[in-house]
Amino acid sequence: MDTPTPIPVSTEKMHKLIFFGASGSGKTALINRMIFDKYRNDYVSIPTIDLYTKTLYHQTDMIKLNIFDTPGVGAMSVGDTFWKQTEGIVLVYDIKNRETFEKLGYWLNFFKTHSQGAKVPVMVLGNKLDLDSNLDGGGRQVSREEAEEWCKLNNIHIFFEVSAKDAVNTKECFTKFMDAFVSGIHQDLHHDDDDDDSSTLLKKNNTNSDDDAPSKGVFSCFCCM
Ligand SMILES: Nc1nc2c(ncn2[C@@H]2O[C@H](COP(=O)(O)OP(=O)(O)O)[C@@H](O)[C@H]2O)c(=O)[nH]1
Ligand SMILES: [Mg+2]
């Protein structure tokens, strides 16, 4: 059987992804789940931006990623160039902690302001889905519908509820995000005018997402798959 040969999208360039979200929402746990397929209970929140590197194969592309894990508290003393070079962002909240959901707007605006309006794929993740039961004395504080509505209002087309702990939807969301991300990289390789391309990317990604989505209109929520 023929195995597709990976095509290096860029042999040199490291592509930059950034995870934002309130401290404690589970950014570090999610990154570790997505990259190493591991979970620990004792992630320590430290006030630095951490870097993870990963080379992965997505469909027929070989992609080198720099994934930055932000602290979620305190000032981040890096210049705007750092944010402008970003090619995708992930916004994380904890479904059992409303405050973390209410912080999403802050992080989205933070990125928009500092990247000076860079148009990149955005994914929102409601983490700790494993806690969505009353067995441990408390359920969720943010409904799926409310989060979907927030994403719609902010023109964000990739949303999942996930559990880093139980690996629920973590592969699916990463694959979906990589689809959008890789489309953007290919467009950048073929066109110089990236402003126009990026907005096309978001529309295009939206259309692609619908192909797989469990008929939720233009909005993709795969949490029920
Ligand atoms: N139950 C549960 N706990 C989680 C999950 N993800 C992270 N945590 C816990 O939440 C706390 C904060 O996680 P961490 O990744 O450090 O959050 P960060 O500050 O956003 O990086 C840690 O105690 C984790 O073990 C999850 O999916 N389910
Ligand atoms: Mg962390």
Coil, strand or helix at 20: strand
Residue 31 Cβ inside 6 Å of ligand 1? The answer reads: no
Q: Which residue's CA is the closest to the ligand 1 atom numbered 3?
A: 128
Residue 7: inside a domain: no
- Report yes or no on 2 lying in a domain: no
Tokens of 111: 């990125």
Q: Which ligand is nearest to the CA of 49?
A: 2
Check pocket membership of 198 for ligand 1, CB cut-off 6 A.
Answer: no
Query: To which residue do tokens 């929402």 refer?
Result: 25
Q: What pLDDT is stored for residue 165 in this prediction?
A: 96
Ligand 1 centroid, distance to 24 Cα (angstroms): 6
Any domain includes 176: yes
Beta-carbon contacts of residue 205 (< 8 Å; ≥ 6 apart): 121, 157, 158, 179, 180, 183
Amino acid symbol at 95: I
Query: Does residue 208 lie in a domain region?
Result: yes
Q: Which stretches of 52-155 are DSSP H helices? A: 80-84, 98-102, 104-114, 144-153
* Count of structural domains, the chain: 1
* 184 sits in which H/E element: helix 170-190
Say yes or no to pLDDT of 206 above 80. Answer: no
Tell me the mean pLDDT in the region 100-107. Answer: 97
Structure token pair of residue 105: 């707007």
Give the residue from 182, 178, 159 showing the smallest Cα distance to 35. Answer: 178
* Substitution site in 18, 28, 94 for ligand 1 pocket (most atoms within 8 Å of beta carbon): 28
Note the pLDDT of residue 224: 26
What is residue 104's three-state secondary structure? helix
Q: Among 84-88, 156-160, 165-169, where is mean pLDDT lowest?
A: 84-88
Q: What is the pLDDT of residue 205?
A: 33
Q: Is residue 99 in some structural domain?
A: yes
pLDDT per residue over 20-75, tens digit each? 999 999 999 999 999 999 998 877 777 788 899 998 888 788 888 999 999 877 66
**Range from 62-76, 100-114, 183-197 that averages highest in pLDDT:** 100-114
Q: Which of 19, 20, 25, 39 to mutate to test the pocket of ligand 1 (most atoms within 8 A of CB)?
A: 25
Q: How far is the CA of 220 from the centre of ligand 2 (A)?
A: 27
Q: How confident is the model at residue 105 (pLDDT cuts 50, 70, 90)?
A: very high
What number does the ligand 1 atom closest to the CA of 21 have? 20
| Residue 3 maps to a domain | no
Which atom belonging to ligand 1 lies closest to the Cα atom of 41? 25
CA 7/CA 5 separation, integer angstroms = 6
Residue 4 inside a domain? The answer is no
Does pLDDT of 102 surpass 90? yes
- Say whether pLDDT at 136 is over 60: no
Whether 43 is in the pocket of ligand 1, judged by its Cβ within 6 Å, is yes
**Ligand found nearest the CA of 73:** 1
Closest residue to atom 14 of ligand 1, CA basis: 26
Q: Is the pLDDT of residue 212 over 80?
A: no
Mean pLDDT estimate for the chain: 78
Whether residue 200 has pLDDT greater than 90? no
Q: Which residues contact 163 (CB under 8 A, 6 or more apart)?
A: 127, 128, 129, 130, 169, 170
The C-alpha atoms of residue 57 and residue 61 are separated, in whole angstroms, by 6
Atom 11 of ligand 1, residue of closest alpha carbon: 24
pLDDT of amino acid 7: 57
* pLDDT tens digits, one per residue of 112-128: 999 988 889 999 999 99
pTM for this model (two decimals): 0.80
Q: Could you tell me if residue 62 is inside a domain?
A: yes
- pLDDT band of residue 91 (cuts 50, 70, 90) is very high
CATH assignment at residue 81: 3.40.50.300
* Between residues 189 and 128, the one the model is more confident about: 128
Question: For residue 144, what are the domain limits?
Answer: 14-224
